[in-house]
Amino acid sequence: MSKVILVTGAGRGLGTDIAREALTAGHRVVATGRRPEEVEKALGGPRDNLLVTRLDVTSLEEAEAAAQAAVDRFGRIDVLINNAGNLFTGYFEEISPAQMRRQFETNLFGPMNVTRAVLPVLRKQRAGHIVTITSTAGLVGMEFTSAYAASKFAEEGWMESLRHDIEPYGIHTTIVEPGYFRTELLVDGSTHWPELSIDDYAPRTAPRIEGMRSMNGRQPGDPAKLARALLTIVGQDKPLPRFVAGADAIEAAEAKAKELFSQAEASRALGAGLAYDDSHV
């Protein structure tokens, strides 16, 4: 069944693939981006089932305008796919406070803005689906990614809690945790390198940056296949609440689950007996 799907960050990378695959599948698509002309170029120009509109996710006003444009054009919104994001790399001390805030503005407060703008439409409909693209870095902290991982861990916590807030209104949520996909996340403009330089970290920083740059275009995951998988999920009567995408991501999630279980067990002797003893009152 045809749905109205609003996609953020549709000008390039995974967002373009999602919008393109959705159009091919017969859905009506609201494709948004900071540069609408780039979105139109990426998707091949105007068509009846496509609305391209400007949206910088860090602006609540633009998010509200995009949601209203979607309703004005198609009468409803069925699916929101929070895809827009960026990557600030570096060891924590070398990431400036301004960079850390910019990371959260885009990766956390950005999807919050768009979701805040769309939710009134979905609640009124008593139906809808919010899909948020996080990352394996939202499950597993890794070297040189403290800002990115922090924003993605926060995004995961928000989405897990949001699910319980909006389920009573017939609205589904899905967290998507991709591994390494051949998107444009690692190109300049999407990836930002640390602004500060500390001698202790210098011998490790340069090789890390070079390694990340060399990975661009060699990631194992196919974003078009991921886009088609997401469309399968949004077509489910009971969509997956969490979708771990890619063999590398599944392996990382399984390892994390085992690690958490092991840590919980190791905490049992010391942590399980901390209840308040009323007999001492």
Which residues belong to the active site?
A: 148
Using CA atoms, how far apart are residues 235 and 5, in angstroms rounded to an integer? 11
Using CA atoms, how far apart are residues 110 and 227, in angstroms rounded to an integer? 21
Let me know: does 94 contact 197? Beta carbons within 8 Å.
Answer: yes
Q: Phi then psi for 109, rounded to 5 degrees?
A: -70, -25
Smallest Cα–Cα separation from 141: which of 256, 244, 263?
Answer: 256
SS3 for 186?
coil
Give the position of tokens 């991921």: 226
Six-digit token pair at 61? Answer: 């006003």
Half-sphere exposure of 60 (CA within 13 A, CB side): 7
Using CA atoms, how far apart are residues 180 and 136, in angstroms rounded to an integer? 9
Let me know: does 71 contact 119? Beta carbons within 8 Å.
Answer: no
Smallest Cα–Cα separation from 84: which of 40, 43, 39, 147?
Answer: 39
Let me know: does 63 contact 114? Beta carbons within 8 Å.
Answer: yes
DSSP 128-177: EEEEEE--GGGTS--TTBHHHHHHHHHHHHHHHHHHHHHGGGTEEEEEEE
